[in-house]
Amino acid sequence: MKNIKFLIVGMLFGIILVKSQVISWFRIQEMFRLQAFHMYGVIGSAIVVGIVSILLIKRFQLKTIHDEPIVIPDKKFHWGNVYGGLIFGLGWAITGACPGPLFAQIGSGFSVIIITLLSAIGGTWVYGLLKEKLPH
Amino acid sequence: MNIIFQPWPWYIAGPLIGLIVPALLLLGNKTFGISSTLRQVCAACIPANISFFNYDWKKESWNLFFVLGVIIGGFIATYFLSVPGQVSINPATAALLKQEGVKDFSGLLPQDVFSFSQLFTLRGFVFMIAGGFLVGFGTRYAGGCTSGHAIMGISSLQWPSLVATCCFMVGGFIMTWFILPYLLQL
C-alpha cells in the first residue's frame, strides 16, 4: 500500500501530459522545427520550478514524510550521456514521445503504442546485453 | 470548469510537472525519472543473467506504480477531462508535414502513421518499432530521459544531465530536419 501515493502522483503526471498535449506527436514536431514555444515553455518552466523546489528543500533541510533526510544522488558524467543522448534524440523525433508520454498515450487509447513501448523495453534490454562493449 | 476541458497552456502544465520533483523527494526520497522503469521491466521479466538486470528490482517497485498511474491519468484526462479535437499546431508545421506525407491531423497522433493497420508497413515499422527501440536503447545508454535528465537532473544542477539534454535536442534536430522527411515518404 505504501506505493499507492506514487500511483497517485503518476496519475497527476499523466493528466498533465495529456492536457498540455505534450504527448502529441505534432507538438514534438513543432518543437524540433522551432515553430512553437509550447514544449520549450513546458520543459523550461518545469525545470525552473524544480530548481527552486530543490533549493528550498536544501535551504530548509526538509525531510521526507518518513522523517528521513533528503538525498539526491550525483550523476557522474560518462560518454553514454552523449552517445545515448543523441540516439534517444533520434528516436524521440520519430516516435514523438519520450518514455513518460508513451505510457500516457497508451492510457489515452492509442493501444498500438503498446508495441512501441515493448520495442523500447527491447532497446533497454539490448543496451543491458551490450553495455560492457559500448564506449562510456 | 471550462478551463479544465480546454488544452492547458505551458505556464500551467510546466510548473505542475516541476512540482513532481519535490513531491517525489518528500514522499520518500525518490528521484523523478521514467526511463528506469523500462530497465525495471527487463529485470523483472527477462533478466537472462545479464548483470545490468541482476538487481533487486522490487526495492524500486515504486516507479512501476508511478507509470501505472501515468497510464490511468492518461485515460482519465482523455475520456473525462477533454473535448476531442485537433491539436492546434502552428499552421506552418502542419503545412510542412502535409508536404512530407502526413494526412491525418484529427487527433494527438497521426493515425496514418501510428495504427495497427500501419504496423506491418515499412513506415509503420520505422515509426513504431525502430523509433521505440531507439528511445529505449538511447535513454538507458544516456542514463535517463527527458524526466530523469532534463527535468530532475538539471533541477538538481547536475551538468552531465545538461550535456545529455543538449544531445537529446541535437539528435532530435538531426532526425527532424535531415532524416524524417525521407522516413515519412516510405
How does pLDDT run across B33-76, given as a tens digit for each residue? 999 999 999 999 999 999 999 999 999 999 999 999 999 999 99
Count of CB pairs separated by less than 8 Å, A with B: 501
**Predicted confidence (pLDDT) at residue B163 exceeds the cutoff of 80:** yes
Nearby residues of B82 by Cβ (< 8 Å), 6 or more positions away: A18, A19, B5
Predicted confidence at residue B1, as pLDDT, reads: 65
- The pLDDT mean for chain B works out to 95
Going by pLDDT thresholds of 50, 70 and 90, the confidence category of residue B4 is confident
Q: Quickly tell me which residue has 478551463 as its cell.
A: B3
Q: HSE-up of B159 (CA within 13 Å, CB side)?
A: 2
Question: What interface predicted TM-score (ipTM) does this complex get?
Answer: 0.96
Tens-place pLDDT, residues B96-124: 999 999 999 999 999 999 999 999 999 99
Cα separation, B29 vs B21, in Å, equals: 10
Give A131's DSSP letter.
Answer: G
Which of B78, B143, B158 is opposite residue A18, by nearest beta carbon? Answer: B78
Mean pLDDT of B139-160: 96
The nearest CA of chain A is from the CA of B7 a distance in Å of: 5
Q: Where are the domains of chain B?
A: 1-82, 86-186
Mean pLDDT of A15-40: 97
Q: How many helices (H) and strands (E) does chain B have?
A: 10, 0
Which of A25, A27, A113 is opposite residue B110, by nearest beta carbon? Answer: A25
SS3 A69: strand
Task: Give chain A positions within 8 Å (CB) of B20.
Answer: 9, 12-13
The nearest CA of chain A is from the CA of B24 a distance in Å of: 8
Q: Quickly tell me which residue has 516510405 as its cell.
A: B186
Which of B72, B115, B139 is opposite residue A11, by nearest beta carbon? Answer: B72
SS3 B13: helix
Task: Give chain A positions within 8 Å (CB) of B87.
Answer: 21, 24, 26-27
Q: Residues of A numbered 101-120 whose beta carbons fall under 8 angstroms of chain B's beta carbons: which are they?
A: 102-113, 115-120
Contact B87, A30 (CB under 8 A): no
Going by pLDDT thresholds of 50, 70 and 90, the confidence category of residue B140 is very high
The whole model's pTM is what?
0.96
Nearby residues of A110 by Cβ (< 8 Å), 6 or more positions away: B108, B109, B114
Q: How many helices (H) and strands (E) does chain A have?
A: 6, 0
Contact A99, B39 (CB under 8 A): no
Tens-place pLDDT, residues B79-95: 999 887 788 899 999 99
Cell readout for A102 is 508513451
Cα separation, B28 vs B31, in Å, equals: 9
Strand partners, A69: A63
The nearest CA of chain A is from the CA of B64 a distance in Å of: 8
The nearest CA of chain A is from the CA of B117 a distance in Å of: 9
Supply φ then ψ for residue A69, to 5 degrees: -65, 145
Cα separation, B54 vs B130, in Å, equals: 26
- The pLDDT mean for chain A works out to 96
Q: Quickly tell me which residue has 544542477 as its cell.
A: B157
